[in-house]
Each structure stands twice: as C-alpha cells, then as structure tokens.
Amino acid sequence: GNDEFDKFHGIRSIKGLEHDSKEEYLKSVGGWFFGLNPGQSTKHLEILVEEMETCDVVIIGGDPFNEISLGVYKGLAPYAALIITLTKFLQKPSVLYNIHMGRQLKTPVGIELAKYCIENANLVTLREEFSLQAIKDLNIATSSCTIAADSAYGLDPVNDFDLGLKILKDEGIK
C-alpha cells in the first residue's frame, strides 16, 4: 500500500499483482502478473490473500475494461477478473469503482471478461450514463450498476503548464 494515500483517504490499500517497479515490469514483458512467473517471489500473494480475508470490501477502481493488453494473467481486464474470482473464493463483497466504458469492446474475450466482472461484482459504480448504455449494448446485466459522479470532479486543478511537461518528461511520455 501507499501510507500517504491511505491516510489521506482513510483506507488501507495493499500491494496487488503489479510489478514493484517500471523496470521490473519491462523485464517481464510477455510474462504474467507479478508472482505468477517462474522464479518470482510469491510472498505478496500470501499477503494479498491474508488481507482480503480480513477486509470489509474489495474495491477495484479505474478502467479495467479495455483491450490494450488481453492475455492469460496479464492486462487490466484479466487482473480484475482474477481479483473478482478471489473475492468469490473468500466470500467478500466486491466493488468495481468509477468505471468508464470509453472504448467499445470488440473482442469476444474482452466482452466476456467485462461481463464476468460486472455480473459478479456486488456493486458497479459508473462515471456516466454513456457507460451504462455501453454495458447494456454488450448484453451484460446491469442490476449491480449505478451511475455516480466521476471522482476526478473532486480534484483541485493545478494550472502549471511547465509542471505538466516536467511530469510527462520524467515519466518518459512524449
């Protein structure tokens, strides 16, 4: 987890299946989630399960349903599906938080993963009506879905163009 983030939001977050650093991720390109590749430590997987066993709810945020990277145990949608599966095993409620369906899903695998996650989550909060309609258009049940405001509306903008350019440069984004 991130102590500063957790304190600010009054939550406790834990490390999931992402790699420890950008460098570690780049070394494993073509591999699976961290801990699922031969030779990688699985200690964080034990901690993940232990923490999930004692939590009140598991929250998956962001935009897991895109088809940038779909594969077995790699990519955002498979990550969400794996976590939803763990919540089922551990009998914990799950929330897909602040979902935006901005890219139309086209592949059968992408649609199936979105359907699995949305229909198995206890609650799905969506950023806008558009996302609800996109889910309906894919013939995915929406009984767990509700529209809430985009959480980015609560952010205070920083109007510093140079700072933005510096962040992009520091992150290697052209």
Banded model confidence at residue 71, pLDDT cuts 50, 70, 90: confident
Name the residue type at position 32.
W
H-only helix segments in the chain? 3-9, 22-27, 43-54, 76-90, 108-120, 129-137, 161-170
Tens-place pLDDT, residues 41-61: 899 889 889 999 999 999 998
Confidence at residue 10, expressed as pLDDT on a 0 to 100 scale: 84
Read off the pLDDT of each residue in 30-36 and give the average, rounded to a whole number: 80
User: Which is more confidently placed, 155 or 98?
Assistant: 98
Mean pLDDT value across the chain: 86
25: enclosing H helix or E strand = helix 22-27
- Work out whether strand 58-61 and strand 123-126 pair parallel, antiparallel, or are unpaired: unpaired
Tens-place pLDDT, residues 94-131: 999 999 998 888 889 999 999 999 999 999 999 999 99
Read off the pLDDT of each residue in 23-32 and give the average, rounded to a whole number: 72
User: Which is more confidently placed, 156 or 35?
Assistant: 35
Q: What is the DSSP letter of 21?
A: S
CA atoms in the 13 A half-sphere facing the CB of 25: 8
Model-level pTM? 0.78
Residue with tokens 């977050």: 13
Confidence at residue 21, expressed as pLDDT on a 0 to 100 scale: 74
Coil, strand, or helix at residue 62?
Answer: coil
Confidence at residue 29, expressed as pLDDT on a 0 to 100 scale: 65
Q: What is the C-alpha to C-alpha distance for residues 160 and 148, in angstroms, rounded to an integer?
A: 29
